[in-house]
Structure 1
């Protein structure tokens, strides 16, 4: 694609028209397209990236493109769109409340919506690769985080006078994650009929799509992390098992799976599993307990978005690609709760 085919994400010209884009555009292709747009958007444009993409798609439709498409990204630092009908930036995520008029970003919303993040898991929003100069200023390498580490307590021991100190390994729990996160990506696609587009104001449509993306993205992060924990076949939960692993009661939480194994609501109205504060999820079956800060999920700092018109009836197809990889630094810090 020629450079002159690419336009900035502004209300007047929101993205480039990818007339030769196939229906199954790969995340790698979209990432390359995103890079061509990167760094050219003003802060005001970043506040309405999704709105500008939708506007660009409609402009392409108005120009009679047979298979028009616009592509761009939603960055985690972007501001969430305003709730329609209000002057303040607000949104309806259940557990994230902010004073009226205070801005909220996609990353803050994801952190608030993700169960594993609220239980203590670390979400690692990956920064852009930082080039490393090599021979005569040639950018041959780049730096990027690739390891999640948790520092544990140093193992002090009594030493008799004149005796040597036994060496120990560096007290670090570590999990590696790859720069490309493997070959698989997570994606969501929705088709919006012309009738739906006509029945909704553009602000309403932007708000609905943004909310759906945030909640679905957070839920998929939960699924990836919890599934990775389940795959390690955790031992049965007990206070003795947690104590033997060096965990503190206050740092342990539980996530109750779809079978609600071990779940109970106390007289105080608090949901618990195995005596731990808990929350419900449908992304896994068993109930998982443990110190969630010893796990995390590496996620890209942006979501790739492709908006297409697929037919002459004016149907809009929105496809969102996400890339993530769970990292479990200490599998022994997690347990399954029995009935």
Structure 2
């Protein structure tokens, strides 16, 4: 029996855990100072420090779920899932992102290992750099060749975008929860709500980063001829309609389209972008930094999160603007 309990405890300690509930409880107990008392002394000094509890939200972890009686009090989109299934946070981010629902890829990147100190004290530590890539593969082109003639060299049908999350722009958010709001709900409900809001925010961030990168590539105006020239299927095309609503219309069948292409709305860009979205993605930290800070004696709690994200756009020629 002791061996079984040890194995169970080890398995629980290694299983993915969403730390929000633990961080909430820890933040409420944090003090805004630290006492420094030397051994053998009765008095010492006191220094101020933030009353904060910090941790990480791992995108590979299972998303927090509510009990059935608690879930009835929330919108269906936030709580509905097939019976007997669990969802990871990364899957929920993809479902929240309009570009990823259209086919873009979410690439979560693990942090590099800690520096390794050399056995030689005078030598600098060895630093790790997690450099990887996002690759798209197009069809290779065959062309006729006459006897005795050289084969025509065609462009390499492989496009690559480098991933270096350490150099990616950093993004942050902060919101506050009053003591009254905390007391009105259980920690499980607060964990669910905070996690859900962060997931929705990450989905919107991915859309903003990717749509901004596409706009910066100065795409041409969309025509079916340009799409056909790229050799893509019509079913691969999807439009993201921005806040300007350019070229967007609702057909008699109730479907939204832009220039005749099936579309979805987004508030993360002004322009309407049409493209083959499976050929792009967004790289983000696998671990999202999250901090819970008790701001004052009334129990006001500030929630702050940081994440790095950058667009992966190896083939911008597969995207166009609706006009």
**Structure with the greater alpha carbon radius of gyration:** 2
Equivalent in 217, 220, 223 of residue 235 of structure 1: 220
Separation (CA, whole Å) in 1 of partners of 2:222 and 2:76: 31
Measured after TM superposition, the shift of residue 63 of structure 1 is: 11
Separation (CA, whole Å) in 1 of partners of 2:12 and 2:70: 22
Separation (CA, whole Å) in 1 of partners of 2:80 and 2:105: 21
Against the structure 1 CA distance between its residues 330 and 66, is the aligned structure 2 distance closer, same or farther, given a 3 Å change threshold? Answer: closer
Question: Does residue 1:58 correspond to 2:44, yes or no?
Answer: no
Against the structure 1 CA distance between its residues 209 and 95, is the aligned structure 2 distance closer, same or farther, given a 3 Å change threshold? Answer: closer
Show the counterpart of 1:176: 162
Secondary structure in structure 1 of the residue aligned to 2:93:
helix
Separation (CA, whole Å) in 2 of partners of 1:148 and 1:204: 37
Question: Does residue 1:77 correspond to 2:56, yes or no?
Answer: no
Measured after TM superposition, the shift of residue 129 of structure 1 is: 3.3
Show the counterpart of 1:267: 252
Question: Does residue 1:291 correspond to 2:253, yes or no?
Answer: no
Separation (CA, whole Å) in 2 of partners of 1:333 and 1:175: 14
Against the structure 1 CA distance between its residues 326 and 96, is the aligned structure 2 distance closer, same or farther, given a 3 Å change threshold? Answer: farther
Output one character per residue of 1:38-86: Cα deviation in whole Å (capped at 9) or x when no partner.
xx99557733311111111123269999741111000011111112545
Equivalent in 180, 187, 194 of residue 209 of structure 1: 194
Higher-RCO chain (CA-CA 8 Å, sequence separation at least 6): 2
TM-score by length of 2: 0.81
Secondary structure in structure 1 of the residue aligned to 2:65:
coil
Separation (CA, whole Å) in 2 of partners of 1:330 and 1:264: 28
Which stretch shows the higher mean deviation, 120-129 or 304-313?
120-129
Contact 1:181 1:324 in 2 (8 A): no
Secondary structure in structure 2 of the residue aligned to 1:236:
coil
Show the counterpart of 1:28: none
Show the counterpart of 1:25: none
Equivalent in 285, 306, 310 of residue 295 of structure 2: 310
Runs of at least 5 residues in structure 2 that lack an aligned partner in the other structure = 1-9, 35-47
Q: Give the total of aligned pairs.
A: 295
Separation (CA, whole Å) in 1 of partners of 2:143 and 2:15: 58
Separation (CA, whole Å) in 1 of partners of 2:50 and 2:148: 81
Against the structure 1 CA distance between its residues 232 and 93, is the aligned structure 2 distance closer, same or farther, given a 3 Å change threshold? Answer: farther
Show the counterpart of 2:5: none
Show the counterpart of 1:47: 17
Q: RMSD value over aligned CA atoms?
A: 3.2
Output one character per residue of 1:164-222: Cα deviation in whole Å (capped at 9) or x when no partner.
3233443111222334134x311110111111111222122111111110001100110
Contact 2:165 2:285 in 1 (8 A): no
Separation (CA, whole Å) in 2 of partners of 1:268 and 1:302: 43
